[in-house]
Structure 1
Amino acid sequence: MCEATADLYGVELAKALNVPLADGQVTPPAGFTITELLRKGT
């Protein structure tokens, strides 16, 4: 379910977090940045 949510709303999430997108798509580097921003204290 989490993966489907990321697939559907990844671009909006990236925009909300001010993560730059290449050609309007979430690329692996952008996904890594999003993960790092949202990771809880580990």
Structure 2
Amino acid sequence: MAPLKPVKSPYADSLKKSLNLMAPSMKLLPKPHFQATTTL
């Protein structure tokens, strides 16, 4: 999988917003699961 490049797009913006919304619930997850989801 290619490394992620910073891109200016509506998709990237909405992805960042959803990640910010999900961040609090992510912290409740076990760490291995959190690392697995962030490397997808």
State the TM-score, normalized to the length of structure 2: 0.34
From the CA coordinates, give the structure whose radius of gyration is larger: 2
Higher RCO by CA contacts (8 Å cutoff, separation 6 or greater): 1
State the TM-score, normalized to the length of structure 1: 0.33
